[in-house]
Amino acid sequence: MKAEIAVVGSANLDLVVDVVQVPLVGETVLGGDLRRIPGGKGANQAVAAVRLGRRVAMIGRVGDDAAGHDLRTSLESDGIDTTHLLSTRGTPSGIAFIAVQSDGDNSIVVSPGANARLSVDDLIAAGPTLESAAVTLLQLEVPLDVVTAAARTAHGTVILNPAPAPPGGLPDTLLAHTDVLVPNQTELAALAGFDGPVDPSTAIGLARSLPCGSVVVTLGADGALVVDHTDVVHIRAPVVTPVDTTAAGDSFCGALADALFRGETLTAAAEWAVRVGAATTQRAGAQPSIPTPSEVEQLLG
């Protein structure tokens, strides 16, 4: 069956350690036992969409190592089409080193590995999948020229999560082919070239300065802002005590894609995405924390 949602992005093995507080520069802290968890922004968003009931195809690269085998097997166990998740000879899979604080916040260092080898030629080979998908999800843990090519190739709604945000901003060509941009406050400031704190009122002006379609700014515990050229809606988040925020933003993006595929308005889709993101923070780990629709209701009470 054809995929309803195509995801072009990264697959990483997350190496996770719980700490009381992430270390400062030059500081050493003791942590808990090491956990090895499937992750990567692209793979996380694919898992989020498939657990919410969508048919999903993953386009990316893993290494020809044990981690690559485990990442592929994990995605396939969720029912994700990995036809275009390619193995890269002589290259390690992407790895993320994650320290999770006791309050649920985290600090992450990513070694891209095979993710950095995804090419425009790979996108050309996956062209029919991108052309037939109703929604395409993109992030920035794979090369920027590949992301731009994917946005131009996709025939459906293009959602871009600009993470990690490049310091020089994004090319107008990519933004022009983006229907919904989903940055957090830090990423929005970087894209708009703004040096200062971003509160909700500042975010509105920055979002409208970008040459793309609509912008949904994620605000963490404060929910999200839906901004287009005429309207602004502030969606409040459920009040929760987070256990681990690692995949909350990725779950948000997967849920947004799910709801837009189902024909919801952008505001309604963002309301659903806020709930899914909040539910994700109630469990530890990246992909293990991503909920099904019934689990969203159970976790939020």
Instruction: Tell whether 208 is covered by a domain.
Output: yes
Residues 262, 197: Cα–Cα separation, whole Å: 35
| φ, ψ for residue 181, nearest 5 deg | -100, 130
Could you report the per-residue pLDDT of 43-94, keeping only the tens digit for each?
999 999 999 999 999 999 999 999 999 999 999 999 999 999 999 999 999 9
Instruction: Tell whether 248 is covered by a domain.
Output: yes
Residue type, 170: L
Instruction: Tell whether 243 is covered by a domain.
Output: yes
CA atoms within 13 A on the CB side of 18: 11
Give the pLDDT of residue 52.
Answer: 98
Residue type, 259: A
Residue 269 sits in a domain whose CATH number is 3.40.1190.20
Structural tokens at position 290: 């991503």
Residues 22, 26: Cα–Cα separation, whole Å: 12
Give the pLDDT of residue 156.
Answer: 97
Domain count, the chain: 1
Instruction: Tell whether 124 is covered by a domain.
Output: yes
Domain that holds residue 52: 42-87+116-295
Give the pLDDT of residue 246.
Answer: 84
Residues 150, 120: Cα–Cα separation, whole Å: 8
| φ, ψ for residue 197, nearest 5 deg | -70, 145
Instruction: Tell whether 103 is covered by a domain.
Output: no
Give the pLDDT of residue 105.
Answer: 83
Instruction: Tell whether 13 is covered by a domain.
Output: no
Residues 287, 147: Cα–Cα separation, whole Å: 23
Instruction: Give the active site residues.
Output: 250
Q: Give, to the nearest 10 degrees, the angle between helix 200-208 and helix 185-192.
A: 40
pLDDT under 70: residue ranges of the chain = none
Instruction: Tell whether 100 is covered by a domain.
Output: no
Residues 11, 3: Cα–Cα separation, whole Å: 18
> Using an 8 Å Cβ cutoff, are 183 and 163 in contact?
yes
Instruction: Tell whether 14 is covered by a domain.
Output: no
